Amino acid sequence: MCGIIGLLKLNESDSGIHDIVEGLKRLEYRGYDSWGYASINSSGIVMEKKIGRITKATFNHPASIIIGHTRWATHGNVTEANAHPHLDCNNQIAIVHNGIIENYLELREQLIKEGHTFKSQTDSEVVTHLFEKLQGDLFERAKQIAPMLRGSFSLVIMDARYSDQLVAIKNESPLAIGIAEKEAIFASDPLAFIDQTDDAIFLTEGDIALAKKSGNKITFEFFNYLTNNSVTKQSTKLDWKNQKIELGEYKHYMLKEIVEQPVVMRQGMNLDSAQDLANEMHNKKVIAIGCGTARHSAVIGKHILNKIAKFPLEVMMAHEFSYFVDEIDKDTVILAVSQSGETADVMECVRKAKKRGLKIISIVNVPSSSLARDSNKVFYTNCGPEIAVASTKAFSNQILAFYLIAFALSGEIKKQKIESVIGMLDKNISYFDLKAREIAEYLKNKVHVYILGKGVNFPIALEGALKLKEISYIHAEGMPSGELKHGTLALIEHGVPVILICPTDYTYHDSISNGLETKARGAYLIGISDKPHPSFNMWIQLPELSKEDEILYPLLETIPLQLIAYYTALALGRDVDKPRNLAKSVTVK
């Protein structure tokens, strides 16, 4: 994963290193086990690397060329040596890398034979030694080196002997260049340069970019090593509306992002886009793909499309799609669901599907993402940046998108119905908060939690369990309640918490029966329903929906489960926004 950044300023500035560290903080969602930066001063490269969260730079010398990195370890433990940047043997070249160099072992072996000394266990370090080995200016060397690398990579490279330039290479992992008046900023995500500029160039597969000081301006040159041609690139104006990141009065981004959902859902009522996607899907076979929370929303979408529009949607995990793509009918439409629009497994599906000639439509949050740019039609969930690693508001707006698409497919967008459910969330959010705190007090001492649901409520159970395990580290399992008696019931004993999602919809009676089966074996039953039941030890009361609107219950069930996960993690003293081992945007396979 990792976030990379590179800054080239026309003039030396005291704030350059500070700017890089601030930019890195905005990329921290991509990985946060260690970080580092390197700059050039009169005596060569100055570098600092640290383990843990991004804090402050120790150095603060005037600089005009700086690169930085925030890491999510893939190759090599979390150590200072493995943190980026990586230097060559002479400490003249520094690189930062996002992605995986698949053929690094053979390159490394060869470089060691040739006398290079490696200081880290990373795959990335080979690149810096390749730059050391070859001759020519940075751009020329990049053109020679890029075709030697296999895998996914975005790289920013600097060389103390060429202190007027930065070079970058992009293949599969994202890279953008922010163009400001007197500086150019390379970054994995334009969010890193939100304070500097709204002008950006997005590099595409195989691009090599050179940014160079030239008189009183910075010039750019582009070459594509896959087509072996020079290329010209146009900049795009970014829309930073709704893109500000402020924690405000909240203790954690996760809580803020949960609580703001009713507002964000109103922002996500993108009816025209829903109609556009419905038009693309009409009479077609559609396969939805996604990972993690986004895949859960797609499974909910399958139920929603089926109930509202009688539309059959197939859902696949993005990382399994590759095994099927060659057999998929060419007329099939791929519906990619992703908050970031950068998840490596999703983007690989998209590339493979495009190669097969399939149409790509998507539900995506980040407007400037690779997925948004690679799709034929996009539904923007319009949530603004989601910072907490555990996805909450993006999930609700993905579900919302599925409702709107389903309504569009059925010929009648029932906007008012959705608005009325959002109004219910407004009214009930403080009550949900209160109940979630009580439930968290019970869950915090437990080792296992089971969350059950049927029909459309089953993927909500999956999502509730995912939230709980990713931030509290308690083992939680989301299950179709009908499946329980085929094995998992053996694990239910006295006091084991079972959360039963059982609104009075088409699943109610069967769900209650399954809940009673756990209760008979000693389960501590926590009901999430609009109706009380004597078997519930605790109950979160949902607002009641009419029979006609029962398919909308998932919009009401989600927030209570998110809050339960939040308060349980809080009670256990977990790092709620940045849980261990995880990252928000998973840009490696």
Q: Which chain residues interact with ligand G6P by CB under 6 A?
A: 291-294, 338-340, 343, 346, 389, 391, 582, 584-586
Nearer to ligand G6P, 518 or 587 (CB): 587
DSSP secondary structure, 443-460, as one string: HTT-SEEEEEE-TTHHHH
What is the distance of C-alpha 23 from the center of its chain? 18
Nearest distance, CB of residue 561 and ligand G6P, angstroms: 14
Of 572 and 582, CB closest to ligand G6P = 582
| Nearby residues of 105 by Cβ (< 8 Å), 6 or more positions away | none
Shortest Cβ 587–ligand G6P spacing (Å):
10
HSE (CB half, 13 Å, CA atoms) of 383? 30
Where does 419-523 show beta strands of DSSP type E? 448-453, 475-480, 497-501
Q: Which residues contact 272 (CB under 8 A, 6 or more apart)?
A: none
Nearer to ligand G6P, 101 or 347 (CB): 347
SS3 at position 263: helix
CB of 318 to ligand G6P, least distance (A): 8
Place of tokens 């260690």: 34
Residue 445 CB neighbours (<10 A): 12
Is residue 137 helix, strand or coil? coil
> Crossing angle of helices 553-571/415-443, nearest 10°?
30
Distances 307 to 302, 304, 337, 455 between C-alpha atoms, Å = 9, 5, 20, 10
Nearer to ligand G6P, 470 or 530 (CB): 470
Which of 38, 73 has the CB closer to ligand G6P? 73
Shortest separation between residue 350's beta carbon and ligand G6P, angstroms: 11
Shortest distance in whole angstroms from residue 391 CB to ligand G6P: 4
Question: Smallest distance, Å, CB 529 to ligand G6P?
Answer: 26
- The DSSP-derived string for 270-322 is -HHHHHHHHHHHTTS-EEEEE-HHHHHHHHHHHHHHHHHH---EEEEEHHHHT
Looking at the Cβ atoms of 82 and 293, the one nearer to ligand G6P is: 293
CB closer to ligand G6P out of 344 and 526: 344
Q: How far is residue 108 CA from its own chain's centroid?
A: 31
Give the integer Cα–Cα distance in Å for 563 and 203: 39
Produce one character per residue of 182-213: b if its CB has 16 or more CB atoms within 10 Å, e if not: ebbbbbbbbbbbbebbbbbbbbbebbbbbbbb
The nearer residue to ligand G6P, 88 or 374, going by C-beta atoms, is 374
- Is residue 242 within 8 A of residue 384, CB to CB? The reply is yes
Q: How far apart are the first and last CA of the chain?
A: 9
Closest separation in Å from C-beta 581 to ligand G6P: 10
Nearest distance, CB of residue 398 and ligand G6P, angstroms = 8
Q: Which residues pair with 501 in a beta bridge?
A: 528
Active site residue ranges: 2, 584
Closer residue to ligand G6P (CB): 92 or 340: 340
Which residue number places its CB atom closest to ligand G6P? 292
Closer to ligand G6P by CB, 245 or 516: give it. 245
The verdict on whether omega for the bond into residue 480 sits within 30 degrees of 0, i.e. cis, is no
Q: The tokens of 562 are what?
A: 């998110």
Q: Name the token pair of 570.
A: 């809080």
451, HSE (Cβ side, Cα atoms, 13 Å): 28
Least CB distance from residue 185 to ligand G6P, whole Å? 23
Between 128 and 339, whose beta carbon lies closer to ligand G6P? 339
Q: What is the distance between the alpha carbons of residues 160 and 64, in angstroms, rounded to a whole number?
A: 12
d(Cα 54, Cα 75) in Å, to the nearest integer? 20
Least Å distance, CB 303 to ligand G6P, is: 19
Q: What is the smallest separation between the CB atom of 416 and ligand G6P, expressed in angstroms?
A: 29
- List, in order, residues 6 or more apart from 410 with CB less than 8 Å away: 308, 309, 310
- Tell me the chain's radius of gyration from C-alpha atoms: 25
Contact by Cβ (8 Å): 346, 291: yes
CA-CA distance, 426 to 408, in Å (whole number)? Answer: 25
